[in-house]
Structure 1
Amino acid sequence: MHEPVIAPFFVVFYSILAAISAPANLLAFIILLRGRCGLSRGITYYLVAIAVSDFLVITTAVILNRISRICFRKSLFSTTPACTLSVVLVNASLDCSVWLTVAFTIDRFAAICYQRQKTRFSNEKTALLVIGMICVLCSVKTIPLYFAFLPLFILDGVSWFCNIKASFYTWPVWQAYDWLFRIMTPFLPFFVILLLNILTIRQIIAANRARRRLWGAENRQDPEMANRQRSIVLLFAISLSFLLMLSPVVGHFIYVCLKAKSDFDGLDFRNPKYIFEESTNILQLLSSCNNVFIYSVSQNLF
């Protein structure tokens, strides 16, 4: 049978994404690490961590998982041990990227809305502690996935590809883990960031009105608001982009929950449901690429 037209599109897209995003995130890491972008150390640490996690997402999810699965189906990466390890690494890096974005949003929300407690929550020590905890917890959370797969088939003593165990859909322990896994990413982060952005916008509007009354004229330059502008623009650019890219993923999550179980497994480009699932994955992976361009547009010193 002929290869579907949609399959080359995915190959080309993932190749372009990897060629642009991997070096871009590496460059962003180097630039941010120098600390010359006019941002506080706490914000810089979060952005450095996000750049590293995004680089790992592109490396594991795009290069080692997507491109190798589509272009090199009988390579070392298609053996069952490599396949299961790839699943763990991909989900761990994606979780880190998502929850680091959530942590950055919470940090900026606390700094903007709770000025008196700013030094307690928004500092470099807290940032390093939160980043370390997120990386450890996301890694531990994905380890059980390694034991959820069996070989799809065994040929000449070599196990190939991954197939989810039947017990994954029947055992209560696996079902509870699956629900927890899906709620933690992407459902909960999506609504946490959405809620925090709404509260932050409301706080900014109220603070602007109060400061305008205090200064007595709208046409006078407020140095405090000017200093906070870079941080506010960066927060909204990253979080709103995150929400936009993750909306289809949340929609797919709700669809799978209503269907009780995904009924399309494997690499089947002829299945419209698989194409829809892969399209949501594309948007989620794309969110690991656009942060670099957000830094460039919103931060002059970058």
Structure 2
Amino acid sequence: MASVRASSSAKAGSSGFLERGRMFLEFQILAAVHAVQKIYYPIMAAVGIPVNLLTIKILCQGTCGLSKCVTRYLVAMAAADLLVVITDLILRQIPIAHQIRIVRSIPVCNIHAVLLYAATDCSVWFTVSFTFDRFVAICCHKLKTKYCTEKTAAVILGTVTVLNCLNNIFWYFMYQPWYTMYNNPWFCYVSVLVKISGLWTAIELLHYILTPCVPFVLILLLNAFTVRYILVASRARRRLRGHDSGESTRDREMVSRRKSIILLFVISGNFILLWALFMMCSIAQRIWYLGYMSFQPALFVLEIGFMLQLLSCCTNTCIYAVTQTKFREQLKNVVKYPVTLIVKFIKC
């Protein structure tokens, strides 16, 4: 009997040692991630602001060979990403990472939260709107002339913006500012009474469902339907044209369609890839908090997911430069312009 107890105690001690070792390792990794964030977030902000401003300027010139409808969506996406960089990176992440006390006893956190989440949701849903527009343009020829217009794009973008602003007003009433409590540059927090309430649980889960779960599903479905339509149309076209390799109107149309498809798929894939980890960790953490999961994702994994999610605000310009020749040319001209002015000034 004594040997059994000793064996049980040894197993318990071994299990406790392993658990402490795991927690220590996670703490060390989290500390390393926080050290990286001190460099990562300022670099992202320094890159994100000029990159998105350049994108908006180049696209607004209308010299990239894109339709006005597509241009409106891309400009809106760049503007939303720019707002996320300002409200999230500059006004939240950098002060937290570097302990910069930029706010002192001013309850602005609730307003900041509404603006931040509204900008993030707009960035996501503008991507969905663009994906649906390209789906209509490629797969629904009868609807294309009526839907894929500059006016419709403006209406869709305006409606999405208003709905996302209204949808995120509840954050103002749910959050409490840490600025006024500890006089530190932390963001907002949710009181224990609110967090354990069924209302907060429903609101938080609904928030995760609307952004980004539903956009994930919509983008995947729309892209799947688009691919299916392209494959069917390509087979039909090859049968009609036979082995004729001469260039025709159809050829130019297919080239234009191919460029549009590449742009669509790269933007969609970039969004899904960079948001996936953050989405899975956030939902898993919430389910664990409710007691329906025995395993909670490590905090450093959530932090890495959040870093990847913020990276999506700075990657669209690279995507345009890689996939769009005219955009790349305009970007080169914009970058060369100040250098040219400096050279001329030196020569004078």
Deviations 1:73-110 (A, max 9, x none): 4331x756233322222211110000000000001011
- Counterpart position of 2:321: 296
Deviation at 1:235, TM superposition (A): 0.5
Q: Which segment is superposed worse, 179-188 or 44-53?
A: 179-188
Q: Contact 1:79/1:160 (CA < 8 Å) preserved in 2?
A: no
CA distance in 2, matches of 1:12, 1:218: 57
- Counterpart position of 2:334: none
- Counterpart position of 1:231: 260
SS of residue paired to 2:168: helix
Segments of 5+ residues of structure 1 without an aligned counterpart are 263-270
Deviation at 1:277, TM superposition (A): 1.6
- Counterpart position of 2:171: 145
Q: Assess, with a 3 A threshold, how the Cα gap between structure 1 residues 113 and 256 changes in structure 2: closer, same or farther.
A: same
> Which amino acid letter does the alignment assign opposite residue 38 of structure 2?
V
- Counterpart position of 1:22: 49
Deviation at 1:39, TM superposition (A): 0.9
CA distance in 1, matches of 2:310, 2:95: 16
Q: Contact 1:46/1:104 (CA < 8 Å) preserved in 2?
A: yes
Q: Assess, with a 3 A threshold, how the Cα gap between structure 1 residues 183 and 207 changes in structure 2: closer, same or farther.
A: same
CA distance in 2, matches of 1:277, 1:5: 14
CA distance in 2, matches of 1:173, 1:40: 44
Q: Assess, with a 3 A threshold, how the Cα gap between structure 1 residues 218 and 95 changes in structure 2: closer, same or farther.
A: farther
Q: Contact 1:57/1:90 (CA < 8 Å) preserved in 2?
A: yes
Q: Assess, with a 3 A threshold, how the Cα gap between structure 1 residues 144 and 79 changes in structure 2: closer, same or farther.
A: farther
Deviation at 1:168, TM superposition (A): 2.5
CA distance in 2, matches of 1:86, 1:255: 26
Deviation at 1:291, TM superposition (A): 0.4
- Counterpart position of 2:208: 182
Segments of 5+ residues of structure 2 without an aligned counterpart are 1-27, 328-348
Q: 2:113 aligns with which of 87, 109, 113?
A: 87
CA distance in 1, matches of 2:116, 2:179: 23
Deviation at 1:241, TM superposition (A): 0.9
Deviation at 1:24, TM superposition (A): 0.3
CA RMSD of aligned residues (A): 2.4
Q: 1:283 aligns with which of 278, 296, 308?
A: 308
Deviation at 1:143, TM superposition (A): 1.1
4+ residue runs over 4 A deviation: 151-156, 158-161
Deviations 1:138-187 (A, max 9, x none): 1111111011123448569x797532022333433333222211100011
Structure-to-structure mapping, 1:1-302, within 5 angstroms: 4-76=31-103, 79=105, 81-152=107-178, 161=186, 162-217=188-243, 219-221=245-247, 222-261=251-290, 273-302=298-327
CA distance in 2, matches of 1:116, 1:98: 27
Q: Contact 2:33/2:303 (CA < 8 Å) preserved in 1?
A: no
Larger CA Rg, structure 1 vs 2: 2
CA distance in 1, matches of 2:285, 2:129: 27
